[in-house]
């Protein structure tokens, strides 16, 4: 569905990604793991169009989407749940979800999609009129994922969905990812929580200092001695 070829990107004179290539097949969940500062969030920002790529190409469903700005990428079917959630804190939960359905094709089916999101997250329905900034961390993550789903995406990008959450909530978030996948959505997820993310994805890439170091199925990576030693502490 999505394929990146030799993508480079950076900020000013700092280069964060060096020729990254990866594939996200239709209907699969793919993980990108790696240490802090490896360029995982930069990779997500390039895919969603927040950061222009300097080199390389990106193909979505057989069409080139290289160089499209963020607001056009949403129309192509990519929804990005950014690092730290980035909800609109002084908008209500429902307004956050409404703005998630800003693009014309999502507006037409707003009511239907809102029902689906409330089904997935009944807690959000209870708190629909509350300001998003007053939600707990776990609820904010649900709201951020719900907001992304409102655009009816084909591909969902999740950037560190477990960051800053209590262990019990982390388990809930991963359970959610599993459910979203079961609905047939393709997911690309960036995580530092290596052990847990390898339980929910089909395949994963290891990103270190801006380059792909390892790639394989989740099972292969779980058995890889380097990953076990460096990222799972086993």
The footprint of other proteins (CB under 8 A) covers 48-50, 69-71, 74-75, 79-80, 82, 86, 88-91, 95, 98-103, 106-107, 147-148, 151
Contacts (Cβ under 8 Å, ≥6 apart) of 220: none
Integer Cα distance of 141 and 173 in angstroms: 8
C-beta of 16 vs 206, nearer to other proteins: 16
Q: How far is the CB of 79 from other proteins (least distance, A)?
A: 7
C-beta of 151 vs 186, nearer to other proteins: 151
Q: How far is the CB of 157 from other proteins (least distance, A)?
A: 9
Q: How far is the CB of 88 from other proteins (least distance, A)?
A: 5
Q: Calculate the CA dihedral of residues 80, 148, 33, 54 and round it to 10 degrees.
A: -10
Q: Which residue is listed with tokens 């047939």?
A: 184
Contact status, residue 157 vs residue 79, Cβ threshold 8 Å: yes
Q: Which residue is listed with tokens 């997820």?
A: 189
C-beta of 189 vs 218, nearer to other proteins: 189
Q: Across the chain, where does the E strand assignment appear? A: 2-11, 14-24, 29-33, 55-60, 63-64, 78-81, 155-159, 186-191, 203-208, 211-217
Integer Cα distance of 9 and 124 in angstroms: 36
Q: How far is the CB of 229 from other proteins (least distance, A)?
A: 36
C-beta of 30 vs 68, nearer to other proteins: 68
C-beta of 85 vs 127, nearer to other proteins: 85
C-beta of 34 vs 100, nearer to other proteins: 100
Backbone dihedral region of 186: left (phi > 0), alpha (psi from -120 to 50 degrees) or beta?
Answer: beta
Integer Cα distance of 80 and 126 in angstroms: 24
Q: How far is the CB of 71 from other proteins (least distance, A)?
A: 5
Q: How far is the CB of 43 from other proteins (least distance, A)?
A: 15
């Amino acid at each position: 569905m999505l394929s990146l070829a030799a993508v480079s990107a950076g900020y000013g004179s700092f280069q964060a990604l060096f020729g990254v290539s990866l594939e996200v097949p239709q209907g699969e969940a793919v993980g990108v793991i790696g240490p802090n500062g490896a360029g995982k969030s930069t990779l997500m920002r390039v895919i969603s169009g927040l950061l222009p790529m300097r080199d390389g190409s990106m193909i979505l469903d057989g069409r080139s989407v290289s160089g499209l700005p963020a607001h056009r990428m949403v129309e192509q079917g990519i929804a990005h749940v950014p690092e730290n959630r980035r909800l609109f804190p002084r908008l209500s939960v429902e307004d956050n979800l409404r703005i998630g359905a800003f693009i014309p094709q999502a507006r037409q089916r707003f009511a239907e999609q809102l029902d689906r999101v409330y089904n997935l997250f009944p807690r959000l329905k209870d708190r629909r009129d509350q300001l998003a900034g007053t939600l707990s961390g776990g609820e904010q993550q649900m709201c951020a994922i719900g907001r992304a789903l409102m655009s009816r995406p084909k591909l969902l990008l999740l950037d560190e969905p477990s960051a800053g959450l209590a262990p019990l909530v982390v388990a809930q978030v991963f359970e959610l990812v599993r459910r979203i996948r079961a609905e047939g959505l393709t997911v690309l997820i960036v995580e530092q929580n290596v052990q847990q993310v390898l339980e929910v994805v089909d395949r994963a890439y290891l990103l270190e200092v801006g380059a792909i170091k390892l790639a394989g199925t989740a099972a292969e990576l779980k058995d890889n001695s380097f990953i076990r030693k460096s990222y799972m502490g086993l």
